Amino acid sequence: MKFAVLSAVTAVALTATPLMKEAKNAGLVPIPANKAQLYKLIDNPKNPITKAKVKLGKELFFDTRLSKSGLISCNTCHNLATGGVDGVSAAIGHKWTANPHHLNSPTVYNAVFFSSQFWDGRSPDVENQAQGPIQAAPEMAATPEHIVAVVTSMPRYVKEFKKAYGDKKITFELVADTIATFERTLVTPAPYDKFLRGNDKALNATQKRGLKTFIDKGCTSCHTGIALGGEMQPFGVAAPYKYAHIGDFAGNKNGLVKVPTLRNITETAPYFHNGAVATLKEAIQEMGRIQLGIKISDKEAADIQAFFGSLEGKKPTIIYPQLPAVTASTPKPDAN
């Protein structure tokens, strides 16, 4: 019986339709089903993932007291209940300040797979990225000193850091690394991954047609790899972006912009770096116009959008943590 089950699994794994082969040839890569293989991709050898670090990192991710005002957490802009985003065109932070460049909050789900973090790609990994929003004046507006003072004022946090890191000194960088360790686990395998791994029934006929159209139109020239994005690419290569006047973002020094992931794209509106596009249909057709120099019909856009539905992944179960109580030495909230 055990042999028969293994044989059936092997048969599925070895099944490769022409579309599966075409997708893989286009550079599309599934999230591994095997936990050990997945951890090789998401782990940080310099700071290996452990249960203690993930637990602590989750608490810090949700802790608004890390912000100057005491009102904003990482989850404020990267809401894990709503696709890892805040749902507004430009992120809103300290003193109800909108991002000065009118930049949209990218999803934190699957960010571990990105080769570049932030829209201009200035951070190489989630550890470095986690330090930015905490200190940014329009976001959490905190200082490294504030972060350390908050964490070390609460005995339970001190105890949890000791459990996670031993006698390692609690620093701002260590706090950011711990948040990043939690973020590294926010991976969302989807029906699409099952399809690429050999399960032909994981996608319906419309989704397969959409995947075929997605490949044939050339979308995989940017949206490729395991994240279907996350790399730096030129933007507006065939025509100017229709909403380029909203905000002043022009990419990095070479004019390159990070390609957003398409995983869970159905849950992360509004779209583009400035959040100026409200619907997937418009986003798909605008990308065809400005990146590929082609017109994508309504029917083709509908099929591609159906394919995007297969990228809706299973989210990790997140139970809102009960955070440690403040003490007399915890810095007081400052909304000014």
The residues that are catalytic are 139
Rounded Cα–Cα distance for residues 86 and 106 (Å): 9
**Pairing relationship of beta strands 256-258 and 92-93 according to DSSP bridges:** unpaired
How many residues are present in the chain? 336
Q: What angle do CA 235, 251, 313 make, to 5 degrees?
A: 70
Q: Using the Cα atoms of residue 196, residue 198, residue 202 and residue 204 in order, give the sign of their dihedral.
A: positive
CB-based contacts of 208, cutoff 8 Å, min separation 6: 19, 307
Rounded Cα–Cα distance for residues 31 and 102 (Å): 32
Rounded Cα–Cα distance for residues 235 and 215 (Å): 19
Q: Are 85 and 105 in contact (CB under 8 A)?
A: yes
Phi, psi of 77 (to 5 degrees): -90, -25
| Both tokens assigned to 130 | 């986690």
Rounded Cα–Cα distance for residues 25 and 12 (Å): 19
Report the SS3 class of residue 23: helix
| Residue burial 20-39, b: 16+ Cβ < 10 Å; e: rest | beebeebebbbbbeeeeeee
| Both tokens assigned to 151 | 């964490």
DSSP per-residue letters across 219-247? GGGTS-BTTT--SEEESSSSS--TTTTSS
Amino acid at 227: A
